[in-house]
Amino acid sequence: MKILNFLILSFCLLFAFSIVLAQETENGTQAVALDENVSAQDLGVSESTVLPDSPFYFFKNMGRTIQSAITLDPVKKAALREKFANEKLIELKKMAEKTQDPEILKKATENFQKEVENVKNAVEKIKEKADGNNEVGKFLDKFIQQQTLQQRILEKLEAKVATTTMERIREAREQHLEKFGEVMTKLEDKNKLQERLEKNLDEVKGSQFKDFKNLETLKALEEKVPEAAKEAIQRAQENALKRLQGDVEKMSPEDQTKFQDYIEKIGGVKERQMEILDSLKTGVQNNPQVIQKLLQIRKNVIEQVKEEVACPQIAKPTATFCQNGRVIIKKDDKGCIAAFNCVMPAETNVAPIKSLLPKLAPVE
């Protein structure tokens, strides 16, 4: 009887340990899912059943046209066009899950791009700013949150589709960022933009590491917004970076490993992620353990930087390269990586890594 009880207890302990171990290994993946997986419900629309490849899609678009025509209030019309943009992005997402046909995906992408332009045109007819009209403020709050989620969908799509479609999705994502910035600066005073942007990014669903994704969005926006809005975007970046630095410094070794797993699995522009990691490293100079972890994560992110198929192969730097500076990727006219440069805080440039590593033969 004692032997039986011992065996049962041992089995229970082993089972419990395996569950805990599985949870620990899945944590990074779960955090990525929270920050990447965006549903139709998250965007406030229903799942699309009639897709662009359906013979009935014409009637669906006709209904949208009629609905827009009879909506006269400019704020309500802009909100309606934003709803259509959400629907068309979900349609594109579902089409990408259904087929890799470049022509079909091109058409679905163009549908979304046209609707993004329609949103911008509708917003142009709104005469008041967000602080002077409550309805405009509500629209802008919802717009910022949904645009952030739309960016996440586009980033994930860009990583999943075939090369022939990837450029089209990337173009749509860049156009989307541009319109995102234009609408915000049209409806909000530049002195209040930072506060509204931070408030709404904080309300977007996500994991404990979502400040990292928000920083990516802010850095991408900074490149696209008009000059008058850049300062507000930069201040929002600084605050997000401070929060992330505080979180990273307080992380347990287990959470640091989870954070590493998250960064290595999350989609997005790897060059931009390297910038964020270097900024984090600069802000935690008094914590050698965290710095070493960030250097290792940065090395792994560099390994993930993609090159075009026709580009010559170049050796990637190790974790010990540029420990006190920033790694800047230099590309040639064809978009191929030419070198990994180390830029120190007090310098403008340093010898590129291609001169420090053995040259690799071009890929045939």
Q: What pLDDT is stored for residue 246 in this prediction?
A: 92
Please give the backbone phi and psi of residue 187, each rounded to the nearest 5 degrees, phi first: -100, -10
Q: For residue 364, give its domain range.
A: 308-364
For residue 252, how many other CB atoms are within 10 A of its CB?
A: 8
The answer as to whether 355 is a domain residue is yes
Beta bridge partners of 339: 330
Q: What pLDDT is stored for residue 187 in this prediction?
A: 94
Q: What is the pLDDT of residues 137-179, one digit of tens each?
A: 999 999 999 999 999 999 999 888 887 788 899 999 999 999 9
Look-up of token digits 């440069």:
341
Q: How confident is the model at residue 24 (pLDDT cuts 50, 70, 90)?
A: very low
Rounded to 5°, angle at Cα 268 from 264 and 274: 65
Q: What pLDDT is stored for residue 19 in this prediction?
A: 45
The answer as to whether 165 is a domain residue is no
The answer as to whether 326 is a domain residue is yes
For residue 119, pLDDT beyond 80:
yes
DSSP-assigned letter for residue 363: P
The per-residue DSSP string of 297-361 comes to HHHHHHHH----TTSPP-PPP-TTTTTTSEEEEEE-TTS-EEEEEEE-TT-S---BGGGTSPPPP
pTM for the predicted model, two decimal places: 0.82
* Numbers of helices and strands, H then E, in the chain: 12, 2
Measured distance CA(88)–CA(82) in Å, rounded: 10
Which position has the higher pLDDT, 285 or 173?
Answer: 173
The answer as to whether 338 is a domain residue is yes
The answer as to whether 10 is a domain residue is no
Measured distance CA(163)–CA(165) in Å, rounded: 5
As given in the structure block, the two tokens for residue 100 are 């890799």
Tally the domains of the chain.
Answer: 1
Q: What pLDDT is stored for residue 14 in this prediction?
A: 52
Q: What is the pLDDT of residues 50-70, one digit of tens each?
A: 999 999 999 999 999 999 999
For residue 194, pLDDT beyond 50:
yes
Measured distance CA(89)–CA(173) in Å, rounded: 11
The answer as to whether 356 is a domain residue is yes
The answer as to whether 292 is a domain residue is no
For residue 10, pLDDT beyond 80:
no
Tell me what the mean pLDDT of segment 21-45 comes to.
80
Identity at 237, one-letter amino acid code? Q
Our measurement of the distance from residue 167's CA atom to the centroid of its chain's CA atoms, rounded to an integer in Å, reads 17
